[in-house]
Structure 1
Amino acid sequence: MTIDDFWDLIRRSATATSEHDRTAWLTERLARLPAAQIIEFELHLTTQRRRADTRLMWGAAWYIMQGWCSGDSFWYFQPWLVGLGRDVFDRVAAHPDALAQLPQVRRLAGRARSEWSDDEWPQWELLNYVAVNAYQHATGQEDGLDQALEARGHYRVCDAAPEDEPWDYDDPEQRRARFPRLTELIG
């Protein structure tokens, strides 16, 4: 599975009407593929997530989610970004302030979190389990994906682990300097 194949599956899954349906569609498609391609899907997902696994991106997510962005929330935010598709992901991974241009973020701006529907939250936790479940379905091996990855010298990443410089997400001056467009949008 090439990176283009990975992004094509993500794009095609977007026709599903809900996060659950989208996850089921991806899992079903992956389960039909050889185990090696399921492993490659997971490796591509990990590579893309690492591009967005920065404190700068975490700060943007923190700001969008009005301070409700724990390590787990940020971990679920990253696959949501992947789910937006390759072009959007590339743009936002390079410049997190570009999140201000996304309709999905613009709809949340100015509204209390309590008013957000479950479908509006910027997260896609279930994408974390697509390859795991597809591999198990395809091979019948519980924990098989983890073992297959380890055999290839890889480990499935299960937590956010940004390595860039920490900063105070609550500091308005730092936030404004890093995210001028998000600051204008969110206030």
Structure 2
Amino acid sequence: MSEDDFWALINSSISKGTKAERVHWLQCRLVETSPEEIIDFHSWMFLTLQRAETWNLIHAAGRLFWIPSEESFVYFARWLIGLGREAFESVVANPDNLIDLDEVRDLIQYRRSGGTFSNELYPEFEMLGYVAIDAYVQVAKKDARSLWEALEAKGIDVFGSFNPKGEPWDDLEEAQWRLPRIHQYLAEME
């Protein structure tokens, strides 16, 4: 499975309904493939997540949605992947582009109007990370450990530490120049 095939599946899943319905649809597509293709899908998921691990994106997500931990950020990054290739590529290229996404603006407006995020609305998609695992266990008739071993054989450190790229920072003044449009948008809402 190529990266384009991975993204074609992700993009096609967008119209399939809720997060749970999307996961089910993706699993149904993956169980129609081979164990090798499922391994490839999961490889692309890991590699794509690693591309999102930057200090600027961590802070962009934190400023907009208060993402308090590494685990929360991973679930947020899966949500970003779930928005599709175009959205993901735009935000990874420039985390300040996060504010351009309709989904993000809608969530901010909803929260500002006093709404609380349901699981469906919250900007996280933890289940997306398990799609290939469940499909692999079903198709390969092996446990998840053999999937991890296959990924590690491809050079993917599945249990590696969270290692964001870029220079660490944590200062509101720095946010003004690193994420100027997000900073301006939030300032205008106060």
Q: TM-score, normalised by structure 2?
A: 0.89
* Runs of 4+ residues deviating >4 angstroms: none
Q: 2:158 aligns with which of 156, 159, 165?
A: 156
Deviations 1:10-62 (A, max 9, x none): 01111121111111111121121011111111111122111111111100110
Distance 1:10 1:154, change over 3 A: same
- The aligned amino acid for 1:134 is A
CA RMSD of aligned residues (A): 1.8
Q: How many residues align?
A: 184
Take 2:43 and 2:74, find their aligned partners in 1: how far apart are those partners? 16
Task: Note if 1:115 corresponds to 2:125.
Answer: no
Distance 1:122 1:158, change over 3 A: farther
1:94-173 correspondence to structure 2 within 5 Å = 94-109=93-108, 111=111, 115-143=116-144, 144-157=146-159, 160-168=162-170, 171-173=171-173
- The aligned amino acid for 1:129 is Y
Check whether the contact 1:61–1:69 (CA below 8 A) recurs between aligned residues: no
Take 1:24 and 1:42, find their aligned partners in 2: how far apart are those partners? 16
Check whether the contact 2:67–2:73 (CA below 8 A) recurs between aligned residues: no
Distance 1:133 1:155, change over 3 A: farther
Distance 1:158 1:115, change over 3 A: farther
Which sections of structure 1, spanning at least 5 residues, go unmatched? none
Which sections of structure 2, spanning at least 5 residues, go unmatched? none
Distance 1:84 1:29, change over 3 A: same
Aligned to 1:77: 76
Shift of 1:157: 4.9
